[in-house]
Amino acid sequence: MRRLLTAVLGWLALGAAPAAGQVDTLRINYECPSCAGKARVGIAFLEDVGLQIGVNLINQFIIKDSSQDVTPETWGRNLREGWEFDDNNFNTNQFAHPYHGNINFNTARSNGLDYWSSIPFAALGSLIWEYFGEIHRPSLNDYISTTVGGVALGELTFQLSSLVLDNQATGKSRFWKEMAALAINPARGVNRAFYGDWGRVGPNPADRNPELLRGGMRVGFRVVDEGSGLSEGSGRFFLTFDFLRGDPLEQEYRKPFDVFLFNVQLNAAEEKVIGRLTAHGRLYGKRLDNGERPRHALLVTQNYDYFNTEAFKLGGQSVDVGVVSRFDLSKQLRLTTSVMGKTVIFAAVNSEFQDGPNRDYDFGPGLGFSLGGVLTRNGLQLARLSYGMQLIHNVNGLAGDHYLQEATVDASLPLGRRMSIGGQGLFYFRRSEYRNLPSVSQDTPEVQAYLRWRF
């Protein structure tokens, strides 16, 4: 079975590559000017393989990590023994591996392939790394998070870099835009530099200026209940960036991630600076009514979620399907709602019972749903409510299930078109029911006060 699983995964990694040439010529010319209307499939393959070799050599000879001293003997052993679940720390498995997968994905995406044709390259790079990049047995959880999480982060960073890049710019402005895109999407930045696209003047992608583009920065203090109540918690500085591209109701579906929502929260006075990072990209959308203006739409999203705080840990990849609706309450007030069902492909949930020297979490797939509503006045947010529930079934760690709930209440007062002041309450609840150990419950309320500046 192990060998059969390996063969199937390898076939999936390679099977779709020949279709990469079937890509719209005009779009390729805009997104990859040097591609000249033809996707560089062979170059993408060589870059994907070369990336795994390069990372291994850096780890061996610069970082001097003995776990990267691979040999033909370790390759043979990995092929014979097959898959396992590893015990790396949460940040490595739920952030570092998806970020690596994002670069694998963009070796193809930046060489002129589209979203769907680039997926096999994310899978292929992960497969090569798991079998031939480390001395440890290939990790199934790493393969999933690197591939699926890598695709989500990869398309997100590709679309973000497209918003920054300007093929019509010149001089210093062009240089700094290219540098910013390099930081956002290293694979694309390197390819643009190598093939001369940094200085090539030409047209931009037709969708570079979407119908809706909103972003904001929140700065403030947060108080988290660490077990003794909110009154005993200490205030901590935080910084949040959120970014919305496109409108899932007004904007007709064109391609994956033509609409996406990105959010990152940086926490001070905690072990990990990145406390939250979420990416939600539209995979499909269809209007459900025939009115003059759309009110209801079917929405399918691909999601990447990473929560790593001192209070709790939760990370994973999922796909949501549901309905987004919009109601005009008056000429100025508008209510937007969402009802979504969730399929969790794979998730990691913190647990009180460690499964290894670095493991304080369990692995598993799951199901869930979410409800949300946003009230705006003249396009400015006044209030937001959301509730989500997930059931994660452990397939590695302690036998059992995690029941997760998260609710958010946010209220803000605009201070002009760009500034607002507000507060937010978050409530995270986990009940873990183990087969051979007592059940555990965790309540984690959090209160935030912030000042928001709208981009």
For 178-185, the CB contacts below 8 A with 24+ separation are 184/157, 184/160, 185/106, 185/110, 185/157, 185/158, 185/160, 185/161
Q: What pLDDT is stored for residue 23 in this prediction? A: 38
Q: What pLDDT is stored for residue 48 in this prediction? A: 97
Residue 14 above 70 pLDDT?
A: no
> What is the residue-averaged pLDDT of the chain?
90
Please state the separation of Cα 65 from the chain's center in Å.
27
Rounded CA separation 447/409 (Å): 10
pLDDT band at residue 179, thresholds of 50, 70 and 90?
A: very high
Q: What pLDDT is stored for residue 128 in this prediction? A: 97
CATH 2.40.160 placement within the chain: 213-454
Rounded CA separation 99/410 (Å): 30
Rounded CA separation 278/252 (Å): 24
Model confidence over 329-375: pLDDT tens digits?
999 999 999 999 999 999 999 998 866 678 899 999 999 999 999 99
Q: What pLDDT is stored for residue 309 in this prediction? A: 87
DSSP character at residue 341: E
Q: What pLDDT is stored for residue 230 in this prediction? A: 74
Model confidence over 269-297: pLDDT tens digits?
888 899 999 999 999 999 999 888 899 99
pTM recorded for the entire structure: 0.91
Model confidence over 216-252: pLDDT tens digits?
999 999 998 766 677 677 789 999 999 999 999 999 9
pLDDT band at residue 377, thresholds of 50, 70 and 90?
A: very high
Rounded CA separation 348/453 (Å): 33
pLDDT > 70: what percent of the chain? Answer: 92
Residue 160 above 60 pLDDT?
A: yes
Q: What pLDDT is stored for residue 271 in this prediction? A: 81
Q: Residue range 304-314: average pLDDT? A: 92
- The CATH number of 213-454 is which of 2.40.160, 3.40.50, 2.40.128, 1.10.10? 2.40.160
Q: What pLDDT is stored for residue 21 in this prediction? A: 38
Model confidence over 407-446: pLDDT tens digits?
999 999 999 989 999 999 999 999 999 998 999 999 989 9
DSSP string, 110-129: TTT--HHHHHHHHHHHHHHH
